[in-house]
């Protein structure tokens, strides 16, 4: 399942949105795996989403592997960025060519 530029995360997001009858504009924030900022920025660009919707903390902690999504959720919750009812898209990928996503109503 690859998009025309070979990155499966873009297709993963498009499939998750389509399966749920949603558009990228419906997502309040994307909570991506914090392995590589360039990949997250590329995904935002290919989806036509503002980079500000892709939350990040890699500049503070580096790649925290499996803890990156929970850390990012907690950090943004504590500063009041996440509000009840926000639709969040969680996306992750691993070095073993694995990837996954989840839509979460906060």
Residue at token pair 């803890």: 67
In-domain check, residue 3: no
In-domain check, residue 84: yes
Mean pLDDT, residues 72-97: 91
Task: Identify the domain containing residue 46 by its residue range.
Answer: 8-105
In-domain check, residue 62: yes
We report the CATH number of the domain holding residue 87 as 3.40.47.10
Number of domains comprising the chain: 1
pLDDT digits (tens, 9 = 90+) for 13-69: 899 999 999 999 999 999 998 888 888 898 899 989 999 999 999 999 988 888 999
What is the DSSP pairing of strand 98-105 with strand 87-94? antiparallel
């Amino acid at each position: 399942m690859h998009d025309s530029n070979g990155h499966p995360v873009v297709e993963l997001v498009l499939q998750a949105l389509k399966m749920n009858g949603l558009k990228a504009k419906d997502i309040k924030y994307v909570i991506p795996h914090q392995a590589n900022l360039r990949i997250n920025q590329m995904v935002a660009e290919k989806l036509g989403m503002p980079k500000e919707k892709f939350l990040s903390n890699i500049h503070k902690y580096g790649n925290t592997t499996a803890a990156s999504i929970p850390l990012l959720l907690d950090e943004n919750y504590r500063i009041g960025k996440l509000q009840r009812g926000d639709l969040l898209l969680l996306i992750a990928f691993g070095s073993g060519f694995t990837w996954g996503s989840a839509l979460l109503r906060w």
